[in-house]
Chain A
Amino acid sequence: MSLGRYIFRDILILIVVIGILAGSSIGIYQLINKSRRRSPPQRALALELKLKDLIRSSIVAAEETLEIPELQQAIDVITERLTEAYGTFPYTLEILVVDSPIVNALAFPGGLIVCYSGLLEKLDSAEELAAILAHELGHVVYRDAMKQLTRRIGMDVLLSLAGGHQAEVLLKRIVREVVDLRYSRTVEQRADRYALDLLLQAHIDPAFLGKALEQLQKDSEEHKSPEVFKYLDTHPELGTRTEEAAVFETGGQIFESLNLDWPAIKDKLPGLLD
């Protein structure tokens, strides 16, 4: 056999070996996946619930939570309507209202949503609150908080492996900021799309999401108070998202009002004179 043929044979061997390895990888992945499916992510769920308890207790210890029966009832009506539309919701939803001028709502692992009274005061109707909660539900369903946490840990491990020099501390910070910004933008849009669909299924006009976002945007432009107006920090590109929500196709569906006296509920909130 000539040298060229030997080289050709070697290349063939390499290709076959790579093929066998690729095939084995697919096989191993399917085996792992199968065993994971057999025992659904119970451990992941348990971890999320532990985190939820931890976050809830630290919020309750540090902040003043509001327990106004009328507000709680309104939130119950909204969450019932939304979770019914979802079908079997994977988490027990828990909504904490924190007495604070901060205009924001946040979704934490395990189905915990924290809503600041500052945000409630800016909203004009219960349907707008439903839209905001539907958006936060999107984060819960997509497990965005857990994913962000995993991403941060992953990034830390990767960067610490790359080296521990002082100069890299700055790089670390820059990279993390970029990660957070890029992450938020797309994830927020995904949560919006989820909210629009959920609102439609819950027979609530999806236009309320646009209205709520528009209201928040208008308010942020009028009152340049970055200390208080946190919604823009964690929910970027409000303008684009408001437009997207406004052009959402509802297919001529008839909507049902939530029948909640929102101005009366707002009256019960403390610190309305701010």
Chain B
Amino acid sequence: MSEINLPQPDQIEQREKEDAMGAYLMMFAAWAFGLPLPILNLVAAIIYFFVNKKESCFVAFHALQSLLSQILVTLVNVVLVVWLIRNLVTDMWFSSGFYIYLIFMGLFNILYIIFSVVALSRARKGRFYYMPFFGRLSFARYYGPSAVKQDKPMPPNKPPEGF
């Protein structure tokens, strides 16, 4: 296996660290607006990822990890919201299955918040944090053997022709 050259905390700029942290913070901000519509978290994460992915591999890694992990959380939450609306609109009364799923969703979200807070604090310090599965996928995308080439050399600024 070839050696992977990872940026160390002292090589990462403060702004990159903050942007990487923002990927996880974004989720909490989106929650405040989209609690009954969990899809908003995902939309926020997608926008954040596409806006910040070009900044650096470090920021892109954290943004992608946040986005991928939120797909799973959103799926879990959407099921509950659809179930809830169906129960309210039709005459279904809340079954024990619904309550069990509600507790499951609560626990799942708590666990996800814990992971996110840990990832957030690591990102703020310029460190990597790998969530199970999603961390590995994101890492492969930006640092793996077939990684996206992020830091392309910028063409130098030139004056208009004639000068």
Decide: A29 near B107, CB < 8 A? Known: A10-B136, A183-B91.
Answer: no
Chain A residues in 8 Å Cβ range of B136: 3, 6-7, 10
Q: Could you list some 6 contacts between A and B, CB below 8 A?
A: A21-B107, A29-B96, A147-B93, A162-B37, A182-B89, A182-B91
* A29, B99: Cβ atoms closer than 8 Å: yes
Chain B residues in 8 Å Cβ range of A161: 35-36
* B88, A158: Cβ atoms closer than 8 Å: yes
A155 to B132, CA, bound (A): 37
Contact surface of B with A, Cβ cutoff 8 Å = 35-37, 84-85, 88-91, 93, 96, 99-101, 103-104, 107-108, 111, 132-133, 136-137, 140, 144
Number of interface residues of A (CB under 8 A): 33
* B100, A158: Cβ atoms closer than 8 Å: no
A138 to B100, CA, bound (A): 28
A-B pairs, top 4 by smallest CB distance, nearest first, are A10-B133, A25-B104, A186-B91, A25-B103
Q: Does A179 contact B (CB under 8 A)?
A: yes
* B140, A179: Cβ atoms closer than 8 Å: no
- Mark A127-166 against chain B: 1 for CB-CB distance below 8 A, else 0: 0000000000000000000010001001100100110000
Task: Identify which of A11-19, A64-72, A80-88, A255-263 touches chain B.
Answer: A11-19
In the complex formed, the residue of B with least CB distance to A190 is B91
- A179 CB to closest chain B CB (Å) equals 6
- A180 CB to closest chain B CB (Å) equals 11
Looking at chain A's contact residues, the main secondary structure is: helix
* A3, B140: Cβ atoms closer than 8 Å: yes
Decide: A26 near B133, CB < 8 A? Known: A154-B88, A182-B89.
Answer: no
Given contacts A10-B132, A11-B133, A183-B91, 4 further A-B contacts (CB under 8 A): A21-B111, A25-B107, A33-B96, A182-B91
* B89, A178: Cβ atoms closer than 8 Å: yes
Chain A residues in 8 Å Cβ range of B101: 25
* B36, A26: Cβ atoms closer than 8 Å: no
A151 to B127, CA, bound (A): 48
A187 to B132, CA, bound (A): 47
* B132, A21: Cβ atoms closer than 8 Å: no
Decide: A7 near B100, CB < 8 A? Known: A21-B111, A187-B91.
Answer: no
In the complex formed, the residue of A with least CB distance to B107 is A21
